[in-house]
Amino acid sequence: MRKIGILGGTFNPPHIGHLIMANEVCDALHLHEVWLMPTAVPPHKQLADTASPGQRLKMVDLAVEENKFLRSCNEEVSFGGISYTVDTMQRLTEKQPNTEFYFIIGGDMVDSLHTWYKIDDLMKLVQFVGINRTGSLRKTSYPIRYIETPLIDVSSTLIRTKYAKQQTTAYLVPGGVDRYIRQEGLYGTR
């Protein structure tokens, strides 16, 4: 049986925090791979200064290209529209019946699991892996496997702000992602 981690998110843009989290979980749990899966339209938040779903998927492709254990997953972008995790994981488990899925979430998401759409059904499809996040309580009644990772206090919001203000983003995003953002004129880089 294959063991695959899923790290979902907007990836607007993907950054070193995402990559470190995915890599650390992959290593700690001896997973075959971790798939970074951008959402087409996030159900819980509005995207400001957003790249298109296709652009965000391309940035994830570029972000993971140097790590053989990380790859992008286009499941939600290809499906389009609002995707709920339970529906996505139902599709993935049907396509990959010999795979055990580990869904990776930050501590802030652990605190709000009780609000997730059909969370009890989702719990039957995946094992949740919780990661430290500054300010999170890590309190939930749901079974979560916690992995300690380096705390990297960086966010996509911070990075978009830095691009808009023409400030440095060196070491915050992979070089290929930075070049793509500038080439496409994303986040106020034109």
pLDDT, residue 43, reads: 66
Taking only the tens place, the pLDDT of each residue in 109-145 is: 888 899 999 999 999 999 999 987 665 656 788 999 9
Phi (first) and psi of residue 19, to 5 degrees: -70, -40
Specify the pLDDT at position 107: 77
Q: Please name the fold of domain 2-151.
A: Rossmann fold (3.40.50)
- What pLDDT does 133 receive? 63
**Parts of the chain with a pLDDT under 50:** none
pLDDT of residue 34: 98
Specify the pLDDT at position 45: 61
Q: For position 46, what pLDDT does the model report?
A: 62
Where exactly are the structural domains of the chain? Answer: 2-151
